[in-house]
Amino acid sequence: MKRAGIYRIKCSGNGKIYIGQTIDLDRRLYDHLWNLRRGTHHNHYLQRAFNKYGENSFEFSVLQECSIEELDKAEKQWIIKLDTMNPLIGYNLESGGNPGKEVSEDVKEKKRGKNNPMFGKKLPTHHIEILRSRNRGLHTDLSEKDVADIKERLVGREKVSSLAREYGLTVSAVNRIKMCKNWNYVRSDLNESLISLTQISREGRDEKIRALNEQGKSRASISKEVGCTPATVARVLGYRSEYYTNSKRKSDLKKRVVDDFLNGISKDKILEKYGITSSVYVSMISSAYKKQRKEIKDKAISMRKSGMMVKNIAKELGVARTTITKWTKNI
């Protein structure tokens, strides 16, 4: 179940605070951390502090849970209460809430008059076309008429997969049009309806995931039935935050994953058990795998030097004959 509310990001290195609102607290805190790690956070002051003090100096916490209707009011109240628009205290550049939002004097000054980098300038036609081409994504062979047709049919609840087949696109490409990440200037009057449909379909997917989980089905089987990744299932069921939102929990989880790996538990079972992605699993066990592989290699070389045949070594160690031959070719 999603939790809406107000959250706080605090940097212990300088004591400054950022306040935000969200309809999904677990997901939003993960998004902040993800962007900070990549160096792409929208708040460059917060990003600079993260780069300077490091991830361990940042604390993510929930200040208040509330209904979606109360979010704007609650965010404004917390920003005022903690004075986080004061650059000596916080990182908030705006007063919070969506309607009637105010911007800090620091931001206003940077965007005012000659301080605005676009002051007195007009984008040349070729520059506008470059921006449009980027907005189109990889599928520049689509015409605006095609995209308009796709959007109209999406609003009419036509399946993404059928549209992808008809236009020779990937499902991901059609989904990006549906989420208004590409071609958003074509039939922009439909964008709001498309985004609303995307949210509804996600909520329907999440409800189905929870229902299947209550039936006792595994995360792997749920992901196949719903048509999403195991990581998405884990996130919806609340397992993902254990790894992504707390460095101490991350360390503890890594130890458990490595222990399971060394005890011979399969990759699929570990992914299902902890709700992590394949890439996270690989990064966690990388050192242990290399160490284990080196021990097996040393043992194979020792056995070969003692005169043991390659096929017998391979059978005993559970390694392919070609690998044993490669390791021991100079013996």
Q: Which domain holds residue 187?
A: 125-200
pLDDT digits (tens, 9 = 90+) for 131-157: 555 555 555 567 888 889 999 998 888
The verdict on residue 225 lying in a domain is no
- Please give the Cα distance from 255 to 93 (Å, whole number): 40
The reply to whether 58 and 154 lie within a common domain is no
Residue 73's identity, in one-letter code, is K
Helix (H) or strand (E) run with residue 20 in it: strand 17-22
Place of tokens 């979606």: 68
Q: Please give the Cα distance from 240 to 185 (Å, whole number).
A: 35
**94 occurs within a structural domain:** yes
pLDDT at 130: 60
User: What is the rounded CA–CA span in Å between residue 173 and residue 171?
Assistant: 5
What pLDDT score does 99 carry? Answer: 47
Q: How far apart are CA 85 and CA 103, in angstroms?
A: 9
The verdict on 187 and 280 lying in the same domain is no
State how far the Cα of 180 lies from the Cα of 193, in Å rounded to an integer. 10
Number of domains in the chain: 3
How confident is the model over 150-181, as pLDDT tens digits? Answer: 999 988 888 888 888 888 887 778 888 888 87
Clarify whether residues 183 and 270 are in a common domain. Answer: no
Question: pTM higher than 0.75, yes or no?
Answer: no
Closest Cα partner for 61 from 13, 93, 15, 17? 17
| CATH code assigned at 48 | 3.40.1440.10
Higher pLDDT, residue 69 or 248 = 69
Residue 85 zone, left/alpha/beta (φ > 0; ψ -120 to 50; rest): alpha
Task: Express each pLDDT in 188-209 by its tens digit.
Answer: 888 888 887 777 677 788 888 8
Q: What does DSSP assign to residue 10?
A: E
Whether residue 67 is found in the same domain as residue 157: no
Instruction: Kindly state the average pLDDT of the residues 13-36.
Output: 89
Rounded distance, CA 85 to CA 107, Å? 11
H-only helix segments in 179-330: 191-214, 219-226, 230-236, 241-244, 247-262, 267-274, 278-305, 310-317, 321-327
